[in-house]
Amino acid sequence: MKEQQIKFYYKNVTESVLGGEHGISEKQFAALAAKTEPLIEQLNAQRKAGKTRYRDLPYQTDTVKAVKAVAAQVKWCENFVVLGIGGSALGNIALQTAMNPFMYNLDDKQRKGCPRLFVFDNVDPLQLSSFLSWLSDNLDKTVFNVISKSGRTAETAAQFLTICQMLEEKLGKDSLKKHIIATTDSQQGTLRKTADAFGLTTLQVPDGVGGRFSVLSPVGLLSAAVCGIDIDRLLAGAAEMDKKVSQQTFYKNPAAVNAAINWHYYNRGKKISVMMSYSYALKDFADWYRQLWAESLGKAKDLSGKEIFVGPTPVKALGATDQHSQVQLYREGPNDKLFTFLAVEDFGVDVKIGAAPDIAPELDYLSNQDMSRLLNSERAGTEYALLASKRPCLTIAFEKICPYTIGQFIYLLETSTSIAAMLFDINAYDQPAVELGKEATFALMGQSDYAALAEKIKPFAQINDSFII
């Protein structure tokens, strides 16, 4: 049986479609190939040297066993709550939206015996108090997966402390062991220390795998497995894509071509990269991609330490919804964007549109048609309109949305990010600019180590009434 695939389609960035000013000519493609092919080789060498550990995640059989064991251990729960942020949450949300039905949390039938899933990646008191109020009546049926590689991320730590206290007060101190799973560094960090002291079950964030590259590790796999997603097929799909993106030949390597096209356009004033999903199920992968692209590629310095301030701005959009919100700008605003459509060939299910009444013959064209045909026509129509305005468009088409194709997609985007970073000559795996804001928060929250910083912040944090209208 032929396995379901994703297809990377790039004709609609070529000169033959867009003309010389906005399209990529054969000569330019040849130059991109010459520039990128050595980088593929370099990336493959880095991988062998253990410098891109995320590349090996599809093959961690022991880890998968450990994840499945923990998933089996918490089978009794009715609610599974992920506490994490950034790379410790976005992949979990994306996997769930992609592979479980829209009404999963509300409909027992659609959940097929799996628990509801909630992912809390914020510290908004309005949102949390509503959730905690519901939770206090359901605590005994709930398992929490606190995910933090460092363990000192303020948002996750705050949620963790709140939940621990709630569990202790309602169910007793011993309940923590039953109700909390910690996913964190194997050796170090605040969460590792705390989890060990509390005797919690733990899973490891593999060494050398950064948050935004960790969805195929226990970070993303546990909630997926608990919610009935086939993680073996997810990893098999990633392994399949690994073969493609390891290929030395530029034109056979979708990650290389994707990265090179993005880099090419960035250097020609198209600094915004819009991922527009024509599938609700894939919409949160646009969010996941936004973090992957932004934190990995937005950098002040190149690898030699020279200031360059680069980074494409990733934007997420959802078709057809955003046709009625963004497409006016996309077509008539500045031609500064590269579009990547996410398309689905076979949705697996369909909805027949109802018949138009006699009084509205102008709606006859919709009568008894498949909803998938309408959505895909909207995608093709929007792409056509963008091309008419000379806007370059890529498409990643899913033959079907399933764990196997989702695994391919994740791996394609992660490797594209690595290659794009090499083209920009930057480090994809750090995020130094995030630190100052974190430290400022520590200071504003009264962490004594940051008292000096708190003083520095004061003039900025104080509201000056003369500027209030």
| Whether the Cβ atoms of residue 43 and residue 420 lie closer than 8 Å to each other | no
**Are β-strands 299-301 and 307-310 bridged in parallel, bridged antiparallel, or unpaired?**
antiparallel
Among the listed ranges 21-29, 42-50, 150-158, 193-201, the one in contact with ligand PA5 (CB under 6 A) is 150-158
Decide: residue 123, CB within 10 A, 0-12 exposed, 13-18 middle, 19+ buried. Answer: middle
CB of 461 to ligand PA5, least distance (A): 23
Question: From residue 429 to residue 468, what is the string marking binding to ligand PA5 with x (rule CB under 6 A)?
Answer: --x-------------------------------------
CB of 156 to ligand PA5, least distance (A): 5
DSSP alpha helix (H) spans, 333-463:
371-388, 403-424, 433-444, 451-461
Residues with Cβ within 8 Å of residue 417, at least 6 apart in sequence = 259, 292, 293, 296, 297, 428
Which of 36, 80, 87, 418 forms a contact with ligand PA5 (CB under 6 A)? 87
Which of 149, 179, 299, 379 forms a contact with ligand PA5 (CB under 6 A)? 149
101 residue type, one letter = P
Q: Is the Cβ of residue 4 or residue 296 nearer to ligand PA5 in the bound state?
A: 296
Question: What token pair was written down for 267?
Answer: 């250097």
Distance separating alpha carbons of residues 386 and 393, to the nearest angstrom:
8
Among the listed ranges 23-31, 206-214, 321-329, 393-401, the one in contact with ligand PA5 (CB under 6 A) is 206-214
Distance separating alpha carbons of residues 283 and 90, to the nearest angstrom:
11
Which of 4, 153, 405, 418 forms a contact with ligand PA5 (CB under 6 A)? 153
CB of 161 to ligand PA5, least distance (A): 14
Question: From residue 283 to residue 322, what is the string marking binding to ligand PA5 with x (rule CB under 6 A)?
Answer: ------------x---------------------------
22 given a catalytic annotation: no
Which of 58, 91, 210, 403 forms a contact with ligand PA5 (CB under 6 A)? 210
Based on the shown chain and the rule CB under 6 A, indicate whether residue 145 belongs to the binding site for ligand PA5. no
Among the listed ranges 50-58, 130-138, 148-156, 321-329, the one in contact with ligand PA5 (CB under 6 A) is 148-156
CB of 147 to ligand PA5, least distance (A): 6
CB of 230 to ligand PA5, least distance (A): 25
Among the listed ranges 23-31, 84-92, 225-233, 408-416, the one in contact with ligand PA5 (CB under 6 A) is 84-92
CB of 319 to ligand PA5, least distance (A): 27
b/e per residue, 311-325, with b = 16+ CB within 10 A? bbbbbbbbbbebbee
Based on the shown chain and the rule CB under 6 A, indicate whether residue 58 belongs to the binding site for ligand PA5. no
179 given a catalytic annotation: no
Closest CB to ligand PA5: residue number: 211
Taken in order 301, 302, 308, 310, the sign of the CA dihedral is: negative
Based on the shown chain and the rule CB under 6 A, indicate whether residue 192 belongs to the binding site for ligand PA5. no
Among the listed ranges 144-152, 168-176, 196-204, 441-449, the one in contact with ligand PA5 (CB under 6 A) is 144-152
Distance separating alpha carbons of residues 295 and 164, to the nearest angstrom:
31
Distance separating alpha carbons of residues 261 and 340, to the nearest angstrom:
11
Based on the shown chain and the rule CB under 6 A, indicate whether residue 96 belongs to the binding site for ligand PA5. no
Q: Which of 254, 372, 370, 365 is nearest to 319 (CA)?
A: 372
Distance separating alpha carbons of residues 325 and 115, to the nearest angstrom:
35
- Give residue for tokens 């579009």: 339
Q: Is the Cβ of residue 97 or residue 183 nearer to ligand PA5 in the bound state?
A: 183
Q: Is the Cβ of residue 85 or residue 344 nearer to ligand PA5 in the bound state?
A: 85
CB of 217 to ligand PA5, least distance (A): 11
Question: What token pair was written down for 354?
Answer: 């109802």
Distance separating alpha carbons of residues 306 and 431, to the nearest angstrom:
16
Distance separating alpha carbons of residues 426 and 298, to the nearest angstrom:
9
Q: Which of 219, 398, 413 is nearest to 316 (CA)?
A: 413
264 given a catalytic annotation: no
Interacting residue ranges for ligand PA5, rule: CB under 6 A: 85-88, 148-150, 153, 156, 210-212, 295, 431
Catalytic residues, which ones?
295, 324, 438
